[in-house]
């Protein structure tokens, strides 16, 4: 936690805060390097306090750094948080406005009884998390490796007659036999026309010959996530599918070639989107080009037409152009890239493209 | 949606509200009978509006009731929600204070520009959801059935040398081949001393002879969840494990026998807890006795020492007494019961006890 505290404290100082309550689990995990669930972290120059309940108490005791005070939630966590703010002598405590429900804000505020102020903050920790440290990159690479293995494996399993949900089952099993602790999100297997729904829920539809099968899969390796999409083809590929697939591959390639430090993020989105639009499919690509991946599968930075920020070395995100033709099919291919000092590397490699 | 609207409107009227913004996905799903993800629902006597983005638009269009207006999120959802509140002419709009982040509340409030008020509400829909309708109970029974099949199946798979995470992988695969669309939560497989952590994250530890293996598993069947826990034993059972296991079985039995309409919920918790305490293990049972299960795996009512409410027919919840002996082992057994007109039924049956 030490390395980040200095940056956080200077961020807090700028907003005239003397403490910060962290409620987003992945932010707590990032700072404590311990997987947080249903827990809160209060940080200040004087003391850092971790709030958890009896389910996690024993585990937390053995894994948390010794300079973090551990408090058991036994009754109202909001009262407990407020009590500790006052005990430490904090006066202006920041909270994560995007990750604290209104009711929790209200309760903590009430419990502070006007003796300390609760102030909204925005993305303080998320900003730090955008730039991955070498040990984080190693874990993400491992997550990608397991995911790529799963995509290699499933290729031979795909056959007419298999149900989408059975393919999901095979993948869910495979990843756990190869080092994943979990999937990172609900794996998508979308066959034929189902692939035109960007977030299709896999069902009992059977794979058929002469249609695409879209698989979007990510895993969890030591709390770090991966996120890859590939389209497989059973039987013959129609010329329309081929055309759309080639456009997607080229759009992705153009975007990845543009990734390097100091480039505006919205320009990366534009590199793919403008190409797809020129080919006449712009209105069939409704979402952003990509998103950061780390402890959360969706995190900063969004690779969207609205992101005015510039790329920095250590940023790690997906590039996933797509074309969805309602009632027909959808094609999306998704890789993960890391911004380096001079350009970028495609961490997912050439698997199954 | 029709059946519930009348009750909701009378609830709103009591709080002098003319609209309600629903943001908890399972609440939106409950009212629309369509699996909601990243979507919002605004309900009022004049009009109901569903807000979703391009990823779900096509799907929502085909599944939503025709009397629900569909609005595409394309930019700020908060602005869109506010615009629609004003378009419909709402003046006092309730929101779910436990499920709306502070930042979202703030943004919608700003966009309303003082022309309508945003008022916190609490559990309006959750209260309705406590009482299950026959078609909900059927789905939950089906979810339980698949879960019980998985527990039967895995019994023969458990053997010294298998890793915890591999057992999870087998279960994740099995349920999808038998009708589940997903697991309801991260399946727990906790072997030997790991079972003393109530929410152990399964890892690479290998099962060993002469130790308990605790499995906590739930699935998703047509959006409805199940949640069961069983302890299996490899090799010989030590007399301490046997003693603790017998206490848990009896505690559970005592609690279930007490379940009938009009009984205070905290008394059900007490039936199990007092027995465990009398046997000398009270301090090793740190959590509540149970929780409601439905569209969410944890929902109303909590079966806790603090719940003053009384049981009603149609309530459906877990009974899961536990004893966790740090560094040694933990025993928990979890069934799902339904309150009937005169008593209750144990929906999970005698599987693997």
Confidence of residue A198 (pLDDT cuts 50, 70, 90): confident
Do A59 and B176 count as a contact with CB atoms less than 8 A apart?
A: no
Q: What is the CATH number of domain A134-346?
A: 3.90.230.10
Between the CA of residue A255 and those of A319, A334, A342, B123, what are the distances in Å? 7, 12, 16, 46
Q: Return the residue matching tokens 């590199």.
A: A271
- Cα gap A321→A251, rounded to integer Å: 7
Q: Is the pLDDT of residue A350 over 70?
A: no
Is A122's Cβ below 8 Å from some Cβ in B? yes
Mean pLDDT confidence for A40-68? 91
Residue pLDDT, tens place only, A246-267: 999 999 999 999 999 999 999 9
Question: What does the alpha-carbon distance between residue B132 and residue B285 come to, in Å, rounded to a whole number?
Answer: 29
Tell if the CB–CB gap between B58 and A202 is shorter than 8 Å.
no
Q: How confident is the model at residue A56 (pLDDT cuts 50, 70, 90)?
A: confident
Is pLDDT of B352 > 90? no
pLDDT above 90 (res A351): no
* Residue contact B58–A103, C-beta within 8 A: no
Do residues B289 and B320 make contact, with C-beta atoms less than 8 angstroms apart? yes
Closest-CA distance, A197 to chain B, in angstroms, reads 7
Tell me if B71 sits within 8 A of B88, measured CB to CB: no
Q: Are B303 and B291 within 8 A, CB to CB?
A: yes
Q: What is the mean pLDDT of residues B240-249?
A: 97
Reduced to 3 states (helix: H, G, I; strand: E, B; else coil), residue A314 is coil
Those of residues 272-291 in A touching chain B at CB distance below 8 A are 286-287
Task: State mean pLDDT over A299-309.
Answer: 97
Q: Say whether pLDDT at A24 is over 90.
A: yes
Higher pLDDT: B259 or B67? It is B259
Q: How confident is the model at residue B4 (pLDDT cuts 50, 70, 90)?
A: confident
- Consecutive H or E run containing A128: helix A124-130
Q: Do domains A2-129 and A134-346 have the same CATH topology?
A: no
Which pLDDT tens digit goes with each residue over B106-139? 999 999 999 999 999 999 999 999 999 999 999 9
Q: Is residue B58 helix, strand or coil? A: helix
Whole-angstrom distance, CA of residue A77 vs CA of residue A95: 15
What does A160-213 look like in DSSP terms, one character per residue? TT-BHHHHHHHHHHHHHHTT-SEESS--EEEEGGGGGSTTPPP-SPBP-TTEEE
Give me the pLDDT at residue A37, please.
87
* Any B CB within 8 A of A15 CB: no
DSSP type of residue B201: P
pLDDT higher than 80, residue A48 = yes
Tell me the nearest-neighbour CA distance from B341 into chain A, angstroms: 33
Identify the three-state secondary structure at position B187: coil
CB nearest to B37's CB, from A105, A175, A199? A199
* CA closest to A202 among chain B residues: B181
Phi, psi for A27 (deg, rounded to 5): -70, -40
**Residue in chain B nearest A99 by alpha carbon:** B101
B58 touches chain A (CB under 8 A): yes
Query: If you average pLDDT over residues A149-162, what whole number do you get?
Result: 96
Locate the chain B residue with the closest alpha carbon to A326. B58
Q: Do B177 and A196 touch (CB under 8 A)?
A: no
Cα–Cα–Cα angle for B61, B65, B71, rounded to 5 degrees? 45
Q: What is the DSSP string of B273-336?
A: HHHHHHTT-GGG--S-SEEE-SSSSSEEEEESTT---B--TT-EEEE--EEEETTTEEEE-BEE
How far does B99 lie from chain A, in Å, by closest CA? Answer: 6
Return the higher-pLDDT residue of A326 and A146.
A146
Q: What is the DSSP letter of A49?
A: E
For the domain spanning B2-129, the CATH number is: 3.40.350.10
* pLDDT over 70 (residue B2): no
CB contacts of B198 in chain A (<8 Å) are 54-55
Read off the pLDDT of residues A4-20 as tens digits, 9 standing for 90 and up.
888 898 889 999 999 99
pLDDT digits (tens, 9 = 90+) for A72-126: 998 899 999 999 999 999 999 999 999 999 999 999 999 999 999 999 999 999 9
Contacts of A122 in chain B (CB under 8 A): 103
pLDDT digits (tens, 9 = 90+) for B28-64: 999 999 988 889 999 999 999 999 988 888 788 888 9
> Cβ contact (<8 Å) for B173 and A175?
no
pLDDT, position B350:
67
Answer whether residue B100 shows pLDDT above 90.
yes
The pTM of this model reads 0.94
With 0-12 / 13-18 / 19 or more C-beta atoms within 10 angstroms meaning exposed / middle / buried, residue B352 is middle
Burial class (CB in 10 A: 0-12, 13-18, 19+), B4: middle
- Give contacts of B95 with chain A, Cβ < 8 Å: 102
> Which whole number is the average pLDDT over B67-80?
94
Spans of all domains in chain B? 2-129, 134-346
Q: What is the SS3 assignment for A5?
A: helix
B311: closest CA of chain A, how far (Å): 22
What is the per-residue pLDDT across B81-94, written as a single tens digit (0 to 9) for each? 999 999 999 999 99
> Is the pLDDT score of B263 beyond 90?
yes
- ipTM above 0.85 for this complex: yes
Between residues 82 and 121 of chain B, which touch chain A (CB distance below 8 Å)?
Answer: 95, 97-106, 120
Residue % of chain B over a pLDDT of 90: 86
Residues 6+ apart with CB under 8 A from A1: A31, A32, A33, A48, A65, A68
Tell me how many residue pairs between chain A and chain B have CB atoms under 8 A apart: 119
The rounded mean pLDDT for chain A is: 95
Q: How far is CA A284 from CA A141, B160, B229, B237, in A?
A: 31, 52, 45, 61
Chain B residues near residue A173 by CB distance under 8 angstroms: 169-170, 172-173
Looking at CA atoms only, how far is residue B353 from chain A in angstroms? 24
Average pLDDT over residues B301-313: 97
∠ CA A213-A239-A280, nearest 5°, is 95
Neighbouring residues of B110: CB distance < 8 A, sequence distance ≥ 6: none
With pLDDT > 90 as the criterion, what percentage of chain A qualifies?
Answer: 87
């Amino acid at each position: 936690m030490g390395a980040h505290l200095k940056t956080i404290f200077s961020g807090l100082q700028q907003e005239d805060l003397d403490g910060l309550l962290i409620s987003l689990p992945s932010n707590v995990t990032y700072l404590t390097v311990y997987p947080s669930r249903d827990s809160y972290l209060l940080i200040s120059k004087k003391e850092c306090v971790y709030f958890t309940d009896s389910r996690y108490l024993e585990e937390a005791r053995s894994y948390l750094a010794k300079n973090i005070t551990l408090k058991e939630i036994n009754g109202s966590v909001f009262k407990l948080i407020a009590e500790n703010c006052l005990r430490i002598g904090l006066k202006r405590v920041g909270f994560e406005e995007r990750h604290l429900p209104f009711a929790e804000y209200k309760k903590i505020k009430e419990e502070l009884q006007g003796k300390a102020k609760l102030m909204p903050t925005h993305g303080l920790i998320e900003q730090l998390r955008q730039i991955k440290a070498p040990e984080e990159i190693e874990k993400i690479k491992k997550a990608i490796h397991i995911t790529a293995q799963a995509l290699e494996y499933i290729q031979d399993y795909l056959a007419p007659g298999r149900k989408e949900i059975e393919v999901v089952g095979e993948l869910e099993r495979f990843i756990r036999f190869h080092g994943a602790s979990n999937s990172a999100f609900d794996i998508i297997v979308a066959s034929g026309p189902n692939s035109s729904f960007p977030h299709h829920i896999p069902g009992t539809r059977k794979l058929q010959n002469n249609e695409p099968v879209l698989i979007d899969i990510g895993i969890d390796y030591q709390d770090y996530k991966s996120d890859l999409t590939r389209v497989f083809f059973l039987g013959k590929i129609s010329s329309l599918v081929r055309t759309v697939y080639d456009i997607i591959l080229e759009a992705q390639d153009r975007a990845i070639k543009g990734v390097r430090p100091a480039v505006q993020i919205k320009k990366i989105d534009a590199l793919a989107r403008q190409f797809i639009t020129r080919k006449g499919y712009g209105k069939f690509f409704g979402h952003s080009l990509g998103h950061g991946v780390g402890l959360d599968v969706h995190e900063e930075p969004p690779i969207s037409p609205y992101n005015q920020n510039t790329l920095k070395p250590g940023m790690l995100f997906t590039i996933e152009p797509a074309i969805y033709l309602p009632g027909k099919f959808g094609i999306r291919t998704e890789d993960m890239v890391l911004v380096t000092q001079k350009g970028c590397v495609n961490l997912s490699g050439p698997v199954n493209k």
